[in-house]
Every structure is written in C-alpha cells, then in structure tokens.
C-alpha cells in the first residue's frame, strides 16, 4: 500500500479500517478499496460512504472479523466425526455457536465459540483429544476481508453457444467490429463462473492459511488478466514468503517476530503440525509442492486428481474441482507471472480494442491448431505468447495503440518501481499517467493488419521485443548478457520482463511455418469483401469464415504436411563467420548455397540417397555467384574429408556419385528478391531409416571410439552403409522411393540477420503412403544433421 496515497480521513472516531479502505487518486477522485468503487470527488465519496453498499459491506466485514476472532481451527479427529460430537466436546469450555465441518473430506472443522474468553480457555489447554485421537486446535488466521465484485448484468448467466450457433450469431452482427465485441461477450466468464472461481480462491485461501500461516493464494493468468474464456484453467500462486519468515522466527525464539507474521501459531512446534515436517527455507520446490499436494488432497473439499508436476519450467501442483470440472495449477515460484498478469490487465484497461482483438486472434489460432497447448508443453504457441504478439502488434501501429514497456517504465513513479527475481517489472499501477492513443483504426482493420504484418514476418531472424516495441536483431541480443541465456528457435518472442526468456521457445519449425502461412491466408481473405461486409444473401462472412478450421492450410503446400523447415539462421553461426558473410555483400545467397550444399551432403553422403540437382530455371552468373561457389567448393572440400576418410566406398556408391551433383555444381534456380530456391530429384534404394538405433549401438560397441562420436555425421553415414549392406549386396532394380525436394527461402528472408529455409517434399504420386515413414524419419533427422554439417563446415 502506498501511504502517501491513502487519504487521511480527519473525521474523529472514524474506524481505522475505513482509513485503510480509502485511496486518493493522483488525478483527483477517490477509490474505495472495500467496494472497488472509484468516485470523482469528495461529495461523491461521502455519498458512497453513507450509501447502502458500503454500509452493508462494512457490517459484513465486522461480523466476519468478530467470528474469526472467536473461532478455532480443529483437525486430527477421525474421519466421519459428526459436528455434534465436536460441539459437545468444546461445550465443556463454554457455549459453541457453530461448527462448520469440511464436508467433503471431513478432516477439519471451524468451531465458532461464544466469545474470546471461551476461545482463550480452549487455547490454554495444551492437549485435546476426542475418541482417542489427538486434536490439533489453533486460532483462525486473520484474513483480509475481500468483496468480490459481481459482473455486469449483460454477461450474467449466459449460456455457452455451440460453434454452429456462434457462427449464426456472428453472421447477424452488423459489421466486423460488432462481431468482435460479440465474440468477447460469448467467451468471457458468466457471472456465475466468476463467482465460482472467487469462491474457490477463498476456499483455498482459508485452508492454506490454516496449514501455512501467513500464506496467500493469488490468482493469475486468464482468470484475472482480462482474457478470461469460459472453462479456462485456474492459475494460482501460493505465496509462502511470510510463512517462511514465520517458521524461521518460531525456530529461533531470540529473533523478534516480523510484525506482519506475528499472529500466534501455538501448534506449529508440535510434532503433528504440517510445518514441523519441513523447513520451507531449505526445502526444494518439489518437496514443498508435495506438501501442498497433500493439503489439497486431504483438506480441500471437492478437489481431486491432484498431481505434482515437478519438472515443468515452473513446477506446479495440478488439480481438478470435481463439481465444476474446473482444472487448475498451484505454483509456489512464479512471482513474475503475477506481474505479467497485471501488465496484461493494464493493457486491456488502456485501450478497449485490446480485448476484442486478442479474443479474435486467440480463437482464430485455436481453430487453426496454432495455439492452445491445453495441457502445457507441445509445439504450439501458448495463449500468453499469442497475447504478447497482439500487444506487440498494437505497440507498432502508427500511431501506436499501446505504449512500449520502456515507455511505461518512464511513466512509473519512484515508489512504484518493481523488481521481481532481478528483472525490472516497473509500470504504473493504474492508467492515471498514460496518454490515450491517437490511433483511430477500427477492429476490422487492426485484425486484417495483424495477419498482414505477421504473414510477412521473419520470426526466426529477430527477437520480438515488447520492451522496445520493435524487433531486435538476433546477434545484437545474443551478444548482450541477457541474450546469452535466451533459448532461440524458429519463433522468438521476448518476455516483456524476464528478458532472457523466449516465451515461444517451445514452438517448432512446423508450427512457425504454419503460423506464417495461416497469417498469409488470413490476410488474403481479409482483403476480400466477404470479410469486410455483411452478406446480404445470408452467407457466412467476416470472422465466421476466418474461424473455419484449416482454411489457410488447404491453400498452401503445407497442406500436404510434407514440409520441413530448417532452424538455421545466420545467428547460429560463429561470430567470425557471420562477419565474413556480411562482408561478402551477398550474404543471403552465400548462406543459402552453404545450406543447400549441406542438405545435399546429408541426403547423399549420410543417407545414401541419389540426388540430382534439377536443371530448371535460369542460371545467373556474376561475381556474387562465383564468389559463393568458390567458398562453397572450399567448404565442401573441407567438409568431405573427415566423412570420407576410412569410409569404404561400395560400387553402388561410386555409381550413385556419377549421377549426383558434385558440390561445385550447386547453384540456385532463382536469385530473386522473393528468395532463393533449389530443387533435387532424389531416389532412395534402401530403408536406411529403419533400425538405425540398433545398428548405431552395434557400431559404437561397448567402448565408443571418440573418432566416431555419438550423433556425428560420420557415424550416421556408417549406420546407413551398414543397413544397406544388411539389405543385400546388389542394388534392387528399381528405387524404393522417388521424390523431389524443393529448398527455398521465405519471401521475408531479405533481412540482415538470417532467413528461413523450408524443404518441400513431393513423392511420386503412387508412393505417397510409402513415403510417409521416410518423411517422418527425416523430420527428426534432417534439421539436426544439416545444422551440424553447416556449423562444422564454416
């Protein structure tokens, strides 16, 4: 709490709690924290304070607090013990007002006593037992009273629509902007769902407070960040900082208790206290999570399927709420997520276009199977990453719709500066200091532009930075200290606060390529009248067609699924080589030829595939090409030496070589600004993709020889040779598989820092099914092998 902001209410006799409730805002006006109400001036504030709502909540709060002060938390009794038995037991000390049992699990109860005197008598008794069981009896933890705000009437008790009904509703809207607003209304939580989540959070808070004194359960993620979708998971952070301090202070009595954890906890020393099982300060995260899981399993009513996931990037305990089917996670080490959640919230408050745009992009990406990863992991973008991408897009409009994170930092007052886990997470706590955007683009245009921008984006060659509001060149990021820990990949999107974290590091080549293709297809559709105007003939239009699954893919070569994208950028090369290439002046052509020669090497020399460069397209002569070829020849000569040394070449291979392209013959079909390309006609004679692991083991023997290291291309070439020999000496009359491979760079590869090369495979028509198995193997093998060859050859 910021004390300078808290209005010092002068009225004599006004309760201290009321002073705490009121906050004066920088731009004038006041906020009542109890009721979540903001008013413009002092007279309105007085009206509010006298009003029914404030009065009712105040009295509710005092009733709850009084109840808390005279209640005890009791556990340790046998399962199934009726409330009446507990009541009878405690009657011995004075009147018992109420006993609230944990109905689901029956392992704890809250016993409300007549007054504080009775409570003191109960607590003064060091040992309690009932039915032969030792009871744990503790005072209740003091909790902040929280009022949960009801949702707007409009979205209350809304039923979720089927996809068909949703499409019908959307088609009835007047324009795309109206469709997008409707989408938000259809997806956001109903009042009932929000209430359920609030109740669950309160329940968790109650239980955890009893077992972990001073702890706090804080929701984050889509339940609270403004991008709530009915049924989304419930992300919770269990803050144990105060519990740790508390535990430390009870262990060393000489140390005074910290003021904020000074509530008495008489039972925490006893051998059956849950805290006596563990030292929170030294315990590992999985150990603490096990304990959290035990509390969830045993003590939280209605919770099941509790599971610790210790190896995730952020370890969590997963759970499911039986009645509602709600899934959730509890983490204990994720303060940055609380902060980025608040950042997303602030963005939604800054401009009303943010929510509809994010909802539309999220739904589109889900329908195209580009985002979601409902169970975590996987190669798709997660919703957080996708949301950041939309926010970045809004930062880069002209004029910007959203400020950059760096600008937000400038607007942050000294006392609001926030550092979490060493990362600067400063931004203003509310909108008072933010200038409204002068951008007037409507939602329809913004969505179309989103697809247009990212359809042409080279995600692999730069790092998208929300802090700067622009893409950062990768070598620059890499060479800075922050970048050294960055996990780069085909999709690079920097977390706005944890700058060494690529939030899209899990995205694989295939997904990155599909994302771009789907954006291109969506951008194309958005240029049509079908997107822009409501159909007068009752046909689908606007968002509805955009949301149809797979529409983009049907129009692209990726539809065949036979595309492998190579994770190669200039950034993956050693700095010295990058420098040489950039000095050559024709960096991309050289780079492309280098990679193509590595592709040919892997197919031909490592996998024993005949591959002949297709003689099509025009050949461009000139200095650049000559220079590239010279470099290429040198590279190939160097690279071929180790792999052919000691490699017994069969007659078959000699024959194959006659028809295969020599490295120096490599050239590009086209060298246009749209990107380079190269095609090979290939034939496979042996099933070298089968049983490689076994053969590899045999070849390496019990004492692996360092000359032929695991994973080396030399070893892989030997594996292919051994498999070929096992299949028979003589070559079959016909190849097993015939196919073409087209290598090409993306249309967006003209940037300085790198490019994407995709390989599109086209099997002979009658071999499409048989080709799948080989292709599946190539998907795993080829990118790694080519990268290895490129790096070793430069």
Binding site for Mg ion (CB under 5 A): 221-222, 233, 235
Tell the smallest beta-carbon distance from residue 236 to ligand ATP (Å): 10
CA distance 432 to 518: 39
Tell the smallest beta-carbon distance from residue 714 to Mg ion (Å): 47
User: Residue 591 binds which entry of Mg ion, ligand ATP, none, with Cβ cut-offs from 5 to 8 Å by kind?
Assistant: none
Paired sense of beta strands 316-321 and 216-220, if any: unpaired
Query: Of 81, 222, 643, 660, which lies in the binding site for ligand ATP, with binding defined by CB under 6 A?
Result: 222
Q: And the tokens for 693?
A: 């692991």
Indicate the residue among 341 and 753 with the shorter CB distance to ligand ATP. 341
Angle CA(645)–CA(650)–CA(656) in degrees, nearest 5?
100
259: phi then psi, degrees, rounded to nearest 5: -55, -40
CA distance 556 to 517: 7
Indicate the residue among 345 and 580 with the shorter CB distance to ligand ATP. 345
In 348-474 the beta strands, taken as DSSP E runs, fall at 419-420, 423-424, 462-465, 470-473
Indicate the residue among 327 and 620 with the shorter CB distance to Mg ion. 327
Tell the smallest beta-carbon distance from residue 337 to Mg ion (Å): 10
Map the footprint of ligand ATP across residues 478-497, applying CB under 6 A: 495
Indicate the residue among 195 and 342 with the shorter CB distance to ligand ATP. 342
CB 172 within 8 A of CB 137: no
Site string for ligand ATP, 703-722 (x = CB under 6 A): --------------------
CA distance 365 to 771: 30
212: phi then psi, degrees, rounded to nearest 5: -125, 85
CA distance 124 to 137: 10
CA distance 404 to 408: 6
User: Residue 461 binds which entry of ligand ATP, Mg ion, none, with Cβ cut-offs from 5 to 8 Å by kind?
Assistant: none
Indicate the residue among 131 and 374 with the shorter CB distance to ligand ATP. 374
CB 306 within 8 A of CB 318: yes
Tell the smallest beta-carbon distance from residue 347 to ligand ATP (Å): 12
Query: Of 503, 562, 564, 713, which lies in the binding site for ligand ATP, with binding defined by CB under 6 A?
Result: 503
Closest-approach residue to Mg ion (CB): 221
User: Residue 229 binds which entry of Mg ion, ligand ATP, none, with Cβ cut-offs from 5 to 8 Å by kind?
Assistant: ligand ATP
Closest-approach residue to ligand ATP (CB): 221
Q: Count of alpha carbons within 13 Å of 583, Cβ hemisphere only?
A: 6
Indicate the residue among 425 and 558 with the shorter CB distance to ligand ATP. 425
User: Residue 383 binds which entry of ligand ATP, Mg ion, none, with Cβ cut-offs from 5 to 8 Å by kind?
Assistant: ligand ATP
CA distance 597 to 588: 14
Q: And the tokens for 331?
A: 């983490």
Query: Of 232, 361, 688, 793, which lies in the binding site for ligand ATP, with binding defined by CB under 6 A?
Result: 232
Angle CA(634)–CA(617)–CA(782) in degrees, nearest 5?
55
CA pseudo-torsion sign 341, 347, 353, 354: negative
Q: And the tokens for 766?
A: 């009658």
Tell the smallest beta-carbon distance from residue 359 to ligand ATP (Å): 11
Indicate the residue among 358 and 460 with the shorter CB distance to Mg ion. 358
- Most distant CA pair in the chain: distance in Å? 104
Indicate the residue among 233 and 509 with the shorter CB distance to Mg ion. 233
Tell the smallest beta-carbon distance from residue 167 to ligand ATP (Å): 22
User: Residue 331 binds which entry of ligand ATP, Mg ion, none, with Cβ cut-offs from 5 to 8 Å by kind?
Assistant: none
Site string for ligand ATP, 153-192 (x = CB under 6 A): ----------------------------------------
Angle CA(49)–CA(55)–CA(61) in degrees, nearest 5?
120
Tell the smallest beta-carbon distance from residue 376 to Mg ion (Å): 10
Q: And the tokens for 558?
A: 């990726």
Q: Is 111 in the site for ligand ATP (CB under 6 A)?
A: no
Tell the smallest beta-carbon distance from residue 394 to ligand ATP (Å): 17
Tell the smallest beta-carbon distance from residue 328 to Mg ion (Å): 8
Q: Which of the 8 DSSP states describes residue 381?
A: B
Ramachandran bin of 701, using left for φ above 0, alpha for ψ from -120 to 50, beta for the remaining angles: left
Q: Count of alpha carbons within 13 Å of 487, Cβ hemisphere only?
A: 11
| Count of chain residues binding ligand ATP (CB under 6 A) | 17
Cα separation values, 395 from 57, 408, 450, 503, Å: 40, 12, 12, 18
Query: Of 90, 211, 384, 525, which lies in the binding site for ligand ATP, with binding defined by CB under 6 A?
Result: 384
In 64-159 the beta strands, taken as DSSP E runs, fall at 71-75, 96-101, 108-113, 128-130, 133-139
Gyration radius of the chain over CA positions: 33
CB 745 within 8 A of CB 588: yes
Tell the smallest beta-carbon distance from residue 771 to ligand ATP (Å): 36
User: Residue 714 binds which entry of Mg ion, ligand ATP, none, with Cβ cut-offs from 5 to 8 Å by kind?
Assistant: none
Tell the smallest beta-carbon distance from residue 379 to ligand ATP (Å): 14
CA distance 75 to 210: 10
Query: Of 21, 233, 669, 716, which lies in the binding site for ligand ATP, with binding defined by CB under 6 A?
Result: 233
Tell the smallest beta-carbon distance from residue 220 to ligand ATP (Å): 6
Paired sense of beta strands 133-139 and 128-130, if any: antiparallel
Tell the smallest beta-carbon distance from residue 222 to Mg ion (Å): 5
Indicate the residue among 222 and 268 with the shorter CB distance to ligand ATP. 222
In 636-792 the beta strands, taken as DSSP E runs, fall at 670-672, 675-684, 737-745, 757-763
Indicate the residue among 70 and 335 with the shorter CB distance to ligand ATP. 335
H-type helices in 318-423, by residue range?
A: 335-350, 354-367, 383-395, 405-410
Indicate the residue among 383 and 635 with the shorter CB distance to ligand ATP. 383
Tell the smallest beta-carbon distance from residue 393 to ligand ATP (Å): 17
Indicate the residue among 116 and 487 with the shorter CB distance to ligand ATP. 487
Indicate the residue among 193 and 495 with the shorter CB distance to ligand ATP. 495
Tell the smallest beta-carbon distance from residue 325 to Mg ion (Å): 15
In our burial notation (b when 16+ CB lie closer than 10 A, e otherwise), range 113-137 reads beeeebbeebbeeeebebeeeebbb
Tell the smallest beta-carbon distance from residue 188 to ligand ATP (Å): 11
Query: Of 337, 358, 512, 587, which lies in the binding site for ligand ATP, with binding defined by CB under 6 A?
Result: 337
Question: Which of these ranges, 96-104, 298-306, 334-342, 756-764, lies near ligand ATP under the rule CB under 6 A?
Answer: 334-342
User: Residue 723 binds which entry of ligand ATP, Mg ion, none, with Cβ cut-offs from 5 to 8 Å by kind?
Assistant: none
Site string for ligand ATP, 354-383 (x = CB under 6 A): ----------------------------xx
Q: Is 340 in the site for ligand ATP (CB under 6 A)?
A: yes
393 closest CA partner among 334, 433, 353: 353
Strand order in the sheet with 37-39: 22-24, 30-32, 37-39
User: Residue 204 binds which entry of Mg ion, ligand ATP, none, with Cβ cut-offs from 5 to 8 Å by kind?
Assistant: none
CA distance 655 to 631: 27
Ramachandran bin of 372, using left for φ above 0, alpha for ψ from -120 to 50, beta for the remaining angles: left
Q: Is 391 in the site for ligand ATP (CB under 6 A)?
A: no
Tell the smallest beta-carbon distance from residue 329 to Mg ion (Å): 8
H-type helices in 538-650, by residue range?
A: 543-546, 551-554, 575-584, 587-601, 623-644
**Which residues make up the interface to ligand ATP (CB under 6 A)?**
220-222, 225, 229, 232-233, 235, 337, 340-341, 382-384, 495, 501, 503
């Amino acid at each position: 709490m910021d004390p300078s902001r808290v209005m010092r209410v002068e009225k004599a006799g006004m309760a201290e709690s009321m002073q705490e409730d009121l906050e004066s805002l920088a731009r004038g006006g006041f906020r009542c924290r109890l009721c979540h109400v903001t008013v413009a001036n002092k007279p309105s504030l007085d009206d509010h304070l006298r009003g029914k709502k404030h009065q009712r909540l105040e009295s509710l709060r005092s009733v709850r607090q009084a109840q808390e002060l005279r209640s005890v938390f009791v556990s340790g009794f046998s399962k199934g013990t009726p409330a009446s038995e507990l009541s009878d037991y405690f009657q011995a000390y004075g009147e018992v007002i109420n006993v609230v049992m944990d109905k689901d699990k029956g392992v704890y109860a809250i016993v409300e006593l007549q007054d504080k005197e009775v409570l003191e008598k109960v607590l003064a008794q060091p040992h309690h037992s009932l039915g032969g069981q030792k009871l744990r009896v503790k005072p209740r933890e003091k909790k902040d009273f929280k009022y949960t705000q009801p949702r707007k009437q409009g979205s209350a008790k809304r039923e979720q629509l089927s996809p068909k009904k949703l499409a019908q509703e959307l088609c009835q809207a007047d324009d795309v902007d109206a469709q997008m607003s409707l989408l938000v209304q259809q997806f956001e939580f109903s009042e009932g769902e929000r209430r359920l989540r609030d109740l669950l959070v309160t329940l968790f808070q109650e239980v955890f407070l009893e077992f972990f004194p001073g702890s706090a359960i804080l929701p984050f993620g889509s339940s609270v960040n403004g991008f709530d979708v009915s049924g989304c998971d419930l992300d919770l952070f269990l803050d144990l900082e105060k519990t740790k301090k508390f535990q430390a202070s009870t262990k060393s009595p000489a140390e005074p208790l910290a003021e904020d954890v000074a509530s008495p906890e008489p039972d925490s020393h006893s051998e059956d206290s849950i805290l006596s099982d563990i030292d929170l300060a030294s315990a590992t995260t999985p150990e603490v999570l096990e304990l959290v899981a035990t509390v969830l399993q045993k003590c939280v009513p209605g919770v099941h399927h509790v599971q610790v996931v210790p190896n995730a990037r952020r370890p969590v305990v997963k759970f499911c709420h039986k009645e509602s089917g709600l899934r959730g996670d509890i983490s204990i080490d994720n303060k940055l997520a609380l902060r980025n959640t608040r950042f997303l919230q602030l963005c939604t408050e800054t401009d009303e276009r943010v929510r509809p745009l994010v909802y539309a992009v999220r739904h589109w990406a889900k329908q195209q199977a580009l985002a979601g990863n409902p169970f975590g992991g996987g190669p798709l973008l997660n919703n957080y990453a996708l949301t950041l991408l939309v926010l970045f897009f809004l930062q880069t409009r002209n004029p910007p719709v959203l400020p950059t994170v760096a600008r937000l930092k400038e607007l942050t007052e000294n006392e609001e500066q926030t550092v979490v886990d060493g990362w600067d997470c400063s931004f203003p706590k509310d909108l008072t200091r933010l200038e409204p955007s002068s951008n007037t683009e409507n939602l329809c245009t913004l969505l179309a532009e989103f697809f247009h921008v990212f359809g042409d984006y080279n995600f692999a060659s730069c790092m998208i930075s929300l802090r700067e509001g622009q893409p950062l060149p990768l070598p620059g990021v890499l060479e800075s200290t922050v970048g050294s820990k960055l996990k780069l990949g085909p999709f690079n999107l920097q977390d706005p606060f944890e700058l060494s974290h690529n939030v899209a590091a899990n995205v694989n080549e295939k997904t990155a390529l599909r994302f771009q293709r789907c954006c291109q297809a969506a951008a194309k559709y958005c240029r049509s009248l079908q997107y822009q105007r409501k159909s007068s003939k009752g046909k689908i239009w606007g968002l509805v067609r955009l949301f149809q699954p797979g529409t983009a893919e049907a129009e692209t070569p990726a539809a065949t699924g036979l595309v492998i994208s190579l994770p190669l950028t200039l950034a993956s090369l050693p700095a010295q080589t990058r420098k040489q290439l950039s000095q050559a002046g024709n960096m991309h052509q050289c780079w492309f030829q280098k990679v193509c020669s590595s592709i040919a090497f892997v197919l031909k020399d490592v996998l024993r595939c005949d591959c002949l460069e297709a003689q099509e397209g025009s050949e461009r002569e000139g200095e650049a090409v000559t220079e590239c070829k010279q470099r290429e020849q040198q590279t190939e000569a160097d690279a071929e030496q180790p792999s052919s040394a000691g490699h017994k070449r069969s007659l078959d291979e000699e024959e194959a070589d006659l028809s295969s392209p020599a490295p120096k013959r490599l050239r590009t079909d086209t060298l246009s600004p749209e990107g380079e390309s190269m095609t090979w006609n290939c034939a496979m004679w042996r099933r070298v993709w089968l049983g490689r692991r076994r053969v590899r083991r045999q070849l390496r023997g019990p004492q692996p020889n360092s000359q032929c290291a695991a994973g080396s291309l030399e070893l892989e070439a030997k594996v292919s040779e051994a498999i070929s020999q096992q299949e028979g000496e003589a070559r079959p009359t016909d190849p097993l598989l015939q196919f073409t491979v087209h290598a090409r760079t993306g249309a967006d590869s003209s940037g300085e820092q790198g490019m994407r090369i995709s390989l599109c495979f086209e099997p002979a028509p009658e071999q499409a099914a048989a080709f799948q198995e080989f292709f599946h193997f190539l998907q795993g093998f080829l990118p790694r092998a080519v990268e290895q060859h490129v790096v070793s050859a430069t």
